[in-house]
Chains A and B, each alone.
Chain A
Amino acid sequence: MHVIARVLAATSLWFALLLPAPAFASPFDGRPTSAADSATAPNVPALHVFNELRRDAARRLTAATEDLAHHPFGPTFALALLFAFGYGVIHAAGPGHGKSVVASHFLSRDASLASGFRLSLWIAVTHVASAIGVVAVAALLLGRSVPSLEDERATQLVSYGILTLLGVVLLVQTARGGRFAAHSCADHGHEHDHSHEHQADGRDRTTGLLAVAAGAVPCTGSLLVLAYAVANGFYLIGFALILAIGAGMALTTAAFGLVARAMRLRILKQPRAGEERVRRRAAIALAGPLLVIASGGTLFVLAYLGA
């Protein structure tokens, strides 16, 4: 059931991602766009320096990738691998990438460290797999792959929308579980860890789906790296680079999970027993899904507004 649900979630995301066909806006083969469509910077002369730097960076990136095509597994590759890992670490600190999902996992239960790392790894693996999928589909169906990654709005809307909805599902599941736990614990007059297997099961499933939703939209960097690699025929290098990006991402999301875990432990430290602890426990548990809803919802609205 677990596997089928994940595959279904991933498949529906795929169709949703592919339908609007958003990622190709190159003048060479894309739909006609106007300057107004793509304009992102105002006409300020002071921006010249910034734009020159950006142009220079783009040229250097192009040159480096060309070098990679000619001298695979040389120093450029080693450096690229390092950059890819660093990019993963830093990029995952930005919006999305499942930090709230991992944090929520740790906030809502006494989760083991291993389960948190597994979740982070699962998000990263989904991320890598979907990056490969996007580029493979682009390369196989469209014949060539110089994707423009500017119009990511549709993908963002789908991903953040699903994240928010799953957050709501998790909230409902947690609230139900929490009420039951609070009630029975109060009856006992003391506190100890109940294991409500069926509720934990439901939440685990939702958390698994959240991980898929969070990981299923590959970031610009992974797509660019992979598309360039495929275009140049160095598949192994591309694969190694996005694995490095994924590893970096997993590190960051896991770190956020550890922070959430530390917060939970600290809050639950005092008082050691009694109704207050039960109340706190329930409140923290609800904070997880609320965090997912808040971040998913905010990102959805921002994507909708075109921010």
Chain B
Amino acid sequence: MGLFLIFAMPPRVASAHPHVFIDNRVKSIFHDGRLTGFSVEWKLDELFSTGVLPHKPADGRLSAADVARIRHDAFDNLRHYGYFIHVWQGARPDEVSDVSAFSAELEGGRLLYRFVAKLAVPLDVRRGPVIADFYDETYFVDVEFPDGDPSGFALDGAPAGCSATLREDHAHMIPGWGFDPPGALIACT
């Protein structure tokens, strides 16, 4: 019977999450006092970078064709995931509707993505605090501000009296993973 129990043990759930690590740096973009989006910089881990780009160019420079392929193979699909950007004003969620100015380069064997994410609805931060969290809800990817660097989120162009605090968002735990995602709380006095 004991032997049978050993044979019939339930399969172990493969829990190798996360698989990809992103060092995240974000700068806010404001127009006329409204938050319209973010300028984002992602430094991807070396393994993932190698997977995307198995044959790194000798001089470390990516051609336009390389960048186009990287965008197609390892970026565009993230639209289904909101580019890992989750925004709320109060209880009302906003979303990234468009991405522009995508670029990719190599930095010490790691891919560096830069892009501008535009919000579907510009938010007037003076009307109430805005939460901007950065996470993959499937937790395949770990999005982190490098070493908890508080300068990882820069509030740029915001109206006077507004500030941003980088913290773990206890209100929006990553569903199913028990993680408080890192994010910024933008509030004005």
Contacts and interface: CB of A to CB of B under 8 A. Distances in A.
Contacts of A96: 11
Given A29-B74, A33-B138, A231-B54, A44 B178 contact: yes
Contacts of A41: 176-178
Nearest to A50: B178
A26 interface: yes
A51 interface: yes
B20 A28 contact: yes
B63 interface: no
A144 B53 CA distance: 8
Contacts of A146: 19-20, 47-48, 51-52
A264 to B, nearest CB: 12
B92 interface: no
Interface stretch (A3-11, A191-199, A276-284, A294-302): A294-302
B179 A58 contact: no
B178 A66 contact: no
B14 interface: yes
A35 B17 CA distance: 13
B24 to A, nearest CB: 15
B10 interface: yes
Nearest to B84: A27
Contacts, number: 156
B175 to A, nearest CB: 4
A74 B98 CA distance: 46
Interface stretch (A110-118, A149-157, A205-213, A241-249): A149-157
B142 interface: yes
B11 A303 contact: yes
Given A27-B138, A29-B77, A94 B9 contact: yes
A75 interface: no
B178 A43 contact: yes
A59 B13 contact: no
Contact of B4 (A42, A228, A295): A295
B147 interface: no
Contacts of B51: 144-146, 231
B47 A65 contact: yes
Contacts of B21: 58-59, 62
B13 A40 contact: yes
Contacts of A33: 138
Contact of B178 (A48, A143, A150, A303): A48
Interface string B30-59: 000000000000000111101110100000
Interface string A209-252: 00000000000100010001001110000000000000000000
Contacts of A40: 13, 15, 176
A58 B19 contact: yes
A25 B138 CA distance: 10
B173 interface: yes
Given A43-B173, A145-B51, A307-B11, A34 B142 contact: no
Given A35-B138, A143-B73, 11 more contacts: A26-B140, A27-B78, A27-B140, A32-B77, A38-B140, A40-B13, A62-B45, A62-B47, A144-B54, A231-B51, A294-B4
- A-B interface, 4 closest residue pairs, ranked by CB to CB distance from nearest: A39-B176, A32-B80, A47-B178, A295-B7
30 contacts: A26-B140, A27-B84, A27-B140, A28-B78, A37-B138, A39-B177, A45-B178, A48-B180, A51-B178, A58-B18, A59-B21, A62-B47, A93-B6, A94-B11, A95-B11, A96-B11, A99-B6, A99-B7, A144-B51, A146-B51, A148-B19, A149-B16, A231-B47, A231-B54, A233-B54, A294-B4, A294-B8, A298-B8, A299-B8, A307-B10
